[in-house]
Structure 1
Amino acid sequence: MPSITPPDPFDPAQLGPIQLRNRIIKAATSEGRSPDGLVTQDLIDFHVAYARGGVGLTTVAYCCVSSEGASAPGQILMTRNAVPGLQRLTEAVHAEGAAISAQLGHAGPVASKKITGVTAVAPSRMVNPTALEYCRAISRREITDVVQRFADAAAIAVDSGFDAVELHFGHNYLPSSFLSPLFNRRRDEYGGDIDNRSRFVREIADAVRTRVGSAIAVTAKISMDDGIRGGIGVSESLRTAQLLDADGTLDALELTQGSSVVRQMFLFRGDVPVDDFAAVMPQPWKTGVLLLGKKILGEFPYHDLYMLESARQFVPLMKNTKLILLGGITDFDHMTTGMAEGFDFVAMGRALLREPNLVEAIRTDRSKQTYCTHCNRCMYTVYGRTHCVLDPASAFGAVDSARGADSAVITGVDELAASARGSGCRD
């Protein structure tokens, strides 16, 4: 049987009803540039830089489907009041030749009462082990309401000119927490075996697809494993992916790892920036982070393509759904490896925070190497305005020479200390 030549990462590609100019996606990185839940010029400039820098699709994060679903300060709230600003954002990105996606999510147990004003919800009662905040069990009526809110948010995305939505089913946010046998101890139709625990994400995907039809692409981000003992594992995630694939509600799945509840470094890998977190925290959080930060966040070495080993297991199982490879993709060789493994797209996060024009640089010089050192100091900036602290000339925020913390992060210390999750940019 003749071998099939994999596509070039810079070839155009179809994603549902839209065509992307290439197969490279700017991953969601919780920008924190919407202090009133609305689009700002700062947010527009943030995404225009990636569009101008060559990505095929940029992902706006994080777009809350409800106010109680926020995971950090400064996130977009998907209401009708947000539509004019969202339209300006999508028009600006389109003017640079790129497509744009809205990441829709509900934080669930990742949320903090200090930010949302209400007690966080989870599939079952629990205490967030990092934030030390109680989460109550969500009711069946509320589950139905959340499903509807995802559909409503997707409709707002359509009206705002987005090309796609990404449903956040990862990192132990509310939908992901239903997939976890550790967090989901329900005895109704949403708990028990993995087919039942997958019911909530399937209902969300179905409701969104029903609402938007073929107007935009519908994708989802799903954690292959969350790095927590007794939590989400690859074998059950494969089953969830198969169920979603059989439903035919999604155009693509972006495969991720890790949790925003505990052991957050399983997602990021590499350096654990405890000193930077401590520098912007008041006591007693400062001492606690310095003493226990690495134990809580976990320590996992970085290596290129670090999610590939798990992600390649999904490739032969997908019949209807394209796959997006994430994790340690920083150069052309990494991109071509993903294409050769059977992935349709690749997604980049931290490397693009460091160099918004990296994709265009790679297109013109395929030997180009990233300046990103995977120091992960961008993580703590999520509580202000997510950016790379190593670039003083960056348009994404002035750098404080003493620690690399921008003024918006300092302003957000109360929220940071209250939640103390250290989950940083989400990809």
Structure 2
Amino acid sequence: MQNVRIAIVGAGLAGLYAAYVLEKKGVKDYIVLEARDVLGGRIASTIHAEGQPDVSGEGFDLGPAWFWPAFQTDMAQLVDELGLETFEQFETGDMLLERSSNQPPERTAGYVNSPPSMRIAGGMYSLIDALYQRLDPARVVTGQTVRSLRISEPSIELLTEDAQSQSVSYSADHVLLAMPPRLVESQLTFSPALPDELARQWQATDTWMAPHAKYIAVFDQPFWRAQGLSGEARSAVGPMVEIHDASTQGGKAALFGFLGEPADVRRRVSEEELMTACRTQFVRLFGAQAENPEAEFIKDWAKEIYTATHTDERSSGNHPTPALSPSSGAWADRLTGIGSEWSREFTGYLAGAIDAVNRGLEHKNSNHQDDAMPESPLAQPLKLPCGAVLPNRLAKAAMTEGLADNQLHATHRHETLYGRWSDGGAGLLITGNVMIDHRVLERPGNVAIDPAPAEGEPEGMAQLRAWAEAGTRNGNHLWMQISHAGRQSPRYVTTRPMGPSEVQLSLMGNYARPRALSEPEILDFIQRFANVARIAKEAGFTGVQVHGAHGYLLSSFLSPVTNQRTDRWGGSLENRARFLLEVVRATRAAVGPEFPVAVKLNSDDFRKGGFTLDESVKVVRWLNEEGIDLLEVSGGTYEQPRLLGYSGDADTASDGPAMRESTRKREAYFLDYAQTIREVCDCPLMVTGGFRTRAFMEEAVANGETDVIGLGRPLCTDPDTPKDLLEGRIDKTVCHEDHIKLAQRGFFSPASPLMPLKVINVLGGQAWYYQQIFRLADDGKADPDLGIFKAIGAYLKDEMGQARRVKKARRQNGGT
């Protein structure tokens, strides 16, 4: 029996990467056991006649083929580390749609994914080969099927079987399962048995690729490109439902497609019949040149016994993130799942294997941690110009809650939600926008303090005090974000929004044309901001943030697109910034010099003719004179929602100032712009948007690129994220954005050429996070498996119902 410290079951990407990480850490005492005769798992390339994987520069991927370096940063880092060459997936030209067998293929404008999907030269098997070359080959054993795991104190005994049914035993202190959870539960025997709930959970997790089949045809030239086609197609006819260009960087032309027929149907048809049907479809789509490919391949993953089980033949679409390991019992701290299905961020993708390994090794190490971690830069306190001190450098950024009652007052749900976020460890919590005008709301569940008296208490003061008390119960700061929606108030809230000028928000007709504010109204609103700030202070909030970003009222005054006035509130930048500066000045006068006053400002609107980075820098110089305590840098508007990581209408979009290539690969959306602002800003800086890894957050703070890290969406499902980062329990936040889409890529993705589909993707993501906030506010658990359409339906029901209730209450109160 061979004794090792760690046994890794499976030599796909997860298993080999885990071994690679262990080698880098100096851990040599491991074994990798693979049931197949070849490495790679679900990564497979076309095979030479000699039977060796084709990694010579012309490999065609029979499994996954793409990754996205822009947001799959760990995967990108590994590819760079291994010195692998990459190239963009070809997407230039039109795409084809087959709607029915009675209609010819329809040619339509193609799309280019942003960020682009990338492929590896030589095929994805080059990644497997590169990892294997860096390992001790004696530590990687193929043709050894693990049959059982038995606890034999103080170790785990693994019984394996080779192709000749000869048994070999290994003993390990810990086992890393680089297999799909369902395959683990179905094919391995555990003694003692796994906990029932864990076994059910692993069995219920669908295996990615398991129900699918892929067809590839190789040609002497990419003739479709000469026709102005990208090679992409979608078909309701079949047998393939999704088709792409699969040409290699070396110049070999190819097309591939995913078959749409279920596995149990495919089993009744021969491979030759399937290939013939696929060739016929290529001819139907691309012409007679597709009739005689040089070579063709078909890979039916449902027939792979080390990938699929009978349960996988018809996928349920159930892809929860299962528990990594047993939390109690005999197997606790002895098993850790590291297959791609265990990834929180990229379940089933190549990057998911990297994420799952990192997460799994972190989980394993956290249970065997002897040395105290050095203090993170994120844990350092920050003294503000006014004298207040933030206990650490992590902030919950402002996110709209939608929890107000019919009178637009705070509720018990605010207390519950912000109590949980206070328990979560962030040094600063910033509320969602609290409105100064009850008539014009960002959404009907906003809290509004209107009327806001210059002296005394408004209605709902008791609720505000309760909110503030709950949100500061762990010694953190809680700042009220004060805002006016301006023209970005939907029709179901008001048909008479307001703005600097009568420039309508063009977003599928959901927003009415605003009326231009008069100067007396502007002066009234300036005082309202100040009055609400005074009330926030008296209610127990420890600071305020003036919302001057994202296209809301103050932001719209800054933009020459939406501000077309000719009086002292429009025209020059000095005039356009006057409203914001007067609001900040009045707010400071209302709260005094020792109370934190912050501003949220766009670095750029990312709209042609809009507010630019150069203008933002000038406004920051003027804000310096007002003595603000913290500047949060953001960007974008409803029309160009860069704050959510998306671009809007291409006809009105501006890319903003050029970024360094190194910055394009970084996590934070606005950090590069913040560096320009940092050069002139006298107060501490906060950057929000895209931060996900602890290492990058620490680097940004340690290097002085920002003083405070703003976190938003991760806290909608995992409110303890700041504490977990600060205490070293996690290296990366959850990142649900990758799967909250109609499609990861293609026609139905956020990169769709159709604006309605773009909007649905953005709205669906927002709706999904709104529902998670509601669950936290109701003292429940997040639901990461919530579907995008269910989220949209629940969101619209909530919004419309709340809008009706608010309007009814307003009528009963004699309001308008």
Q: Tell me the TM-score normalised to structure 1 length.
A: 0.82
2:500 to 123, 126, 129: 123
**What's the counterpart of residue 55 of structure 1?**
426
Q: Deviations over 1:41-74 (max 9, x none)?
A: 2121111111111101111112001113411120
Q: How does 1:275-424 map to 2 (within 5 A)?
A: 304-319=667-682, 321-339=683-701, 340-365=703-728, 368-375=731-738, 379-380=763-764, 386-388=770-772, 395=780, 403-405=790-792, 407=794, 409-413=796-800
**What's the counterpart of residue 45 of structure 2?**
none
1:244, distance to aligned residue in structure 2 (A): 0.8
**What's the counterpart of residue 23 of structure 1?**
393
1:86 to 464, 474, 499: 464
Counterpart of 1:200 in structure 2: which amino acid?
F
Q: How does 1:92-107 map to 2 (within 5 A)?
A: 92-107=470-485
Aligned residue pairs total 385
Q: Judging changes above 3 Å, is the alpha-carbon distance between structure 1 residues 298 and 183 closer, same or farther for their aligned structure 2 residues?
A: closer
Paired with 1:92 and 1:302, the residues of 2 have a C-alpha distance of 39
Greater length-normalized contact order (CA 8 Å, ≥ 6 residues apart): 1
1:156, distance to aligned residue in structure 2 (A): 0.9
Paired with 1:370 and 1:7, the residues of 2 have a C-alpha distance of 16
The answer to whether the 8 A contact 1:114-1:415 is kept is no
Q: Which moved more, 1:94-103 or 1:231-240?
A: 94-103
Structure 1 gap segments, 5+ residues each: 1-5, 273-292, 417-427
Which has the larger share of helix? 1
Structure 2 gap segments, 5+ residues each: 1-374, 451-457, 656-663, 742-761, 804-816
Q: Which moved more, 1:171-180 or 1:294-303?
A: 294-303
1:303, distance to aligned residue in structure 2 (A): 5.4
Aligned-partner SS, 1:9: helix
Aligned-partner SS, 2:459: helix
2:645 to 250, 254, 269: 269
Q: Does residue 46 of structure 1 match 2:417? A: yes
Q: Deviations over 1:213-245 (max 9, x none)?
A: 035210010011111111111000110111111
Q: Deviations over 1:72-126 (max 9, x none)?
A: 120101241121111111111222222101110001111234314x511111111
2:486 to 108, 119, 133: 108
1:7, distance to aligned residue in structure 2 (A): 8.3
Give the fraction of aligned pairs with identical amino acids, expressed as a percent: 26
The answer to whether the 8 A contact 2:631-2:685 is kept is yes
The answer to whether the 8 A contact 1:31-1:386 is kept is yes
Paired with 1:410 and 1:303, the residues of 2 have a C-alpha distance of 37
Q: How does 1:243-254 map to 2 (within 5 A)?
A: 243-248=622-627, 250-254=628-632
Paired with 2:765 and 2:433, the residues of 1 have a C-alpha distance of 14
**What's the counterpart of residue 288 of structure 2?**
none
**What's the counterpart of residue 579 of structure 2?**
200
Larger radius of gyration: 2
Q: Tell me the TM-score normalised to structure 2 length.
A: 0.44
Q: Judging changes above 3 Å, is the alpha-carbon distance between structure 1 residues 128 and 332 closer, same or farther for their aligned structure 2 residues?
A: same
The answer to whether the 8 A contact 2:422-2:476 is kept is yes
1:9, distance to aligned residue in structure 2 (A): 1.4
Aligned-partner SS, 1:336: helix
**RMSD over aligned Cα atoms:** 3.1
**What's the counterpart of residue 521 of structure 2?**
142
Counterpart of 1:308 in structure 2: which amino acid?
L
The answer to whether the 8 A contact 1:32-1:383 is kept is no
Q: Judging changes above 3 Å, is the alpha-carbon distance between structure 1 residues 162 and 215 closer, same or farther for their aligned structure 2 residues?
A: farther
Q: Judging changes above 3 Å, is the alpha-carbon distance between structure 1 residues 305 and 383 closer, same or farther for their aligned structure 2 residues?
A: closer
Q: Judging changes above 3 Å, is the alpha-carbon distance between structure 1 residues 408 and 342 closer, same or farther for their aligned structure 2 residues?
A: closer
The answer to whether the 8 A contact 1:384-1:411 is kept is no
Paired with 1:62 and 1:299, the residues of 2 have a C-alpha distance of 26
